[in-house]
Chain A
Amino acid sequence: MILRLSIASLFARALTVGMTVLAIALSVALFLGVEKVRTGAKASFADTISGTDLIVGARSGSVQLLLYSVFRIGNATNNVTWESYQDIASRSDVEWIVPISLGDSHRQFRVMGTTTAFFEHYKYRQGRSLAVSDGAIMDDLFDTVIGADVAATLGYSVGDPIVVAHGLASFSEHKDQPFRVSGILEKTGTPVDRTVIVSLEAIEAIHVDWQSGAQVPGQSTPADVIRQMELTPTAITAALVGVESPLQTFALQRAINEYDEEPLLAILPGVALQELWGIVGIAETALLAVSAMVVVTALIGMMATIFSSLNERRREMAIFRAMGARPLTILSMLVLEAMVMAAVGALLGMIILYVGLFIAQPILDSAFGLWLPIDAPSLREVWVILAVICAGAIVSMVPAFRAYRMSVADGMMVKT
């Protein structure tokens, strides 16, 4: 009975109520959206590398090395000499080692030089291996394997020729050495999707006719000659290392960190990720707090509209009372109205969130490599909605209590 009255009353004031509901809906969508992005980003970062015990690079910071070597963002770290790489590779406690060489690009995508061992040892999302969706892993000098996003964005298929540019900007393209797409990888949701993978030797081959970053005029070595050349790399950017036994990890890490011939750094990927998250975590909490404040603001806005509606509803309340409604009925009607508004707002917020997710998911994925899963609402989200409804009820208590006290005296008096 009261509920019906409440709803009818809400419909009677559709415009103001609608605005209030919209404010709550947007605030709830914002809060849940921030939460989604937060957990999604965390999961997608943590899933990028697994199964690698150590990442070795030039001495920098653990976060910088991780970001550059695995996520290919941030500042480039120094290179590591091939000799040091060989030294580490020949240690008995190293089970496998995969070199990575960065620094060239193809259009907007990074080119990574590595060995075929990369496909065997690079693991993501709790131990999943890379898989080729079309074609095969490179076996010729000028073969490339491209990530799913590279293929989709540039419309490449197996067998297409591609040109690799020197440096990140494509102002000077290595036009002489046409590479060929030999394979396309399945989508992984990791930076590999946006990478063009070539062999380490190919990276050297690109630079055969190049001296200090510019092409030597009039000189162009034919591909056949390059094939005959000794293409041992002189430097790599980083290396992924697997140890024989986890028990040796710390000893190997220390040995690399104390390596005398060259300042190197070995990091535990999991620990570096945690470190990164420790830094990002503060901003994350701030973002969450701000969006929570937006929800509170919307609820206070609702309180204000209820207050102002009390004025225009003085007669209505008085008539209810005159017809025998107890003050408590008036109070519960107002609280119920508020709860209905909050509930509708929260549910509408959820709908906005999911619609937004459907629209934003592919954009976020291609622009930032951030994959936000669209799941059924989690228990946490259900709690958030319940909390918003409860908060709405509590907030409405203030105007409702005022109406409870004033209803008779106020509305019955004839005012001029």
Chain B
Amino acid sequence: MKIAFSLIALVAAMPATAEESRQLDAHEHGVGTLNIAIEGTNVAMEFHAPGADIVGFEYAAESDTDLAAIDAAVAILGAPLELFVLPDAASCSVVDAQAELEGEDEHDDHAEDDHNDAGDEDHEDHADEAGHTEFHAEYILTCDSPDALTGITFAYFEAFPNAQEVEVQIITATGAQAFEVERDAPVLNLER
């Protein structure tokens, strides 16, 4: 009885606690993040980009063209070596690649004005339907000669015209480093 009661109490309490904690991630249009961790021949990559950068909209897609755009984007994001071109000498291959679109449930007032100029009524509409969306992708690669990973060419900017910048964090045996790669100079040099 006591156990049953505490179970009920626990279940009853769960939605309440879920509602009490409210937090949101950073969301900056035009800026994606790419995290790379290298250990031996294993390379793990994570990529996040706002929906605005990838497909140009962040409302919940309903029309066929919007849905098709999302599908196409997810397909492109599923091929990491085409987006983030690694040197041939490193001979990297993809072990696993996953890409998806994630919406954010929580959404307070729309602070940014820069990303939607469609007019006020339209603005309110989509603020009700959905908030910001983000594309997430995770990749696992193996590189036969990781020492040859001397740079990354961001073909990503050619694939997605709305993307302006990628913040890159790289963890290697020597520690963590951060870089910024911009559309104007889409090549990241890792040689020191």
Contacts and interface: CB of A to CB of B under 8 A. Distances in A.
B38 interface: yes
Contact of B37 (A250, A261, A263, A274): A250
A260 B21 CA distance: 6
Contacts of B178: 268, 270-271, 274-275
A279 to B, nearest CB: 13
A245 B39 contact: yes
B164 interface: no
A246 B23 contact: no
A247 B39 contact: yes
Interface string B16-39: 011001010100000000010111
A245 to B, nearest CB: 6
A81 interface: no
Contact of A246 (B18, B39, B46): B39
Given A258-B23, A270-B177, A274-B177, A250 B39 contact: no
Interface stretch (B101-109, B111-119, B167-175): B167-175
A116 interface: no
A271 B169 contact: yes
A157 interface: no
A270 B176 contact: yes
B171 A50 contact: no
B162 interface: no
Contacts of B38: 246
A143 B172 CA distance: 38
Q: By CB atoms of chain A within 10 A, which of B37, B46, B173, B177 has the most?
A: B37
B177 A50 contact: no
A271 B173 CA distance: 14
A207 to B, nearest CB: 30
Contacts of B172: 246
Q: By CB atoms of chain B within 10 A, which of A53, A268, A269 has the most?
A: A268
Interface residues of B, number: 20
Given A270-B176, A275-B178, A246 B21 contact: no
Interface in B29-80: 35, 37-39, 42, 44, 46
Interface string A234-275: 000000000001111110000000101101000011110011
B175 A249 contact: no
B143 to A, nearest CB: 13
B37 A247 contact: yes
A50 B177 CA distance: 13
Q: By CB atoms of chain A within 10 A, which of B39, B171, B178 has the most?
A: B171
Contacts of B18: 260
Contacts of A263: 23
Nearest to A52: B175
Nearest to A253: B35
Given A247-B42, A261-B21, A271 B177 contact: yes
Interface of B: 17-18, 21, 23, 25, 35, 37-39, 42, 44, 46, 169, 171-173, 175-178
A271 B21 contact: no
Contacts of A249: 37, 171, 176
Nearest to A46: B175
Dominant secondary structure of chain A at its interface with chain B? helix
Given A250-B44, A260-B21, A261-B21, A270 B175 contact: yes
Contacts of B46: 250
Nearest to B167: A271
Contacts of A270: 175-178
A262 to B, nearest CB: 9
Contacts of A248: 37
Contacts of A250: 35, 37, 44, 46, 169, 171
Interface in A274-298: 274-275
Contacts of A246: 37-39, 171-173
A263 B177 CA distance: 25
A256 to B, nearest CB: 13
Nearest to B140: A247
A247 B46 CA distance: 10
A-B interface, 8 closest residue pairs, ranked by CB to CB distance from nearest: A270-B176, A268-B176, A271-B178, A270-B175, A247-B44, A250-B35, A246-B39, A247-B37
20 contacts: A246-B37, A246-B171, A246-B172, A247-B37, A249-B171, A250-B35, A250-B44, A250-B46, A258-B25, A260-B17, A260-B18, A260-B21, A268-B169, A268-B176, A269-B175, A270-B175, A270-B176, A271-B177, A271-B178, A275-B178
Contact of B176 (A245, A247, A269): A269
Contacts of A275: 178
A223 B39 CA distance: 49
Contacts of A261: 21
Given A247-B44, A258-B23, A260-B21, A271 B176 contact: yes
Given A246-B173, A271-B178, 14 more contacts: A53-B171, A245-B39, A246-B37, A246-B38, A249-B176, A250-B35, A250-B37, A250-B46, A258-B25, A260-B17, A260-B18, A268-B178, A271-B177, A274-B177
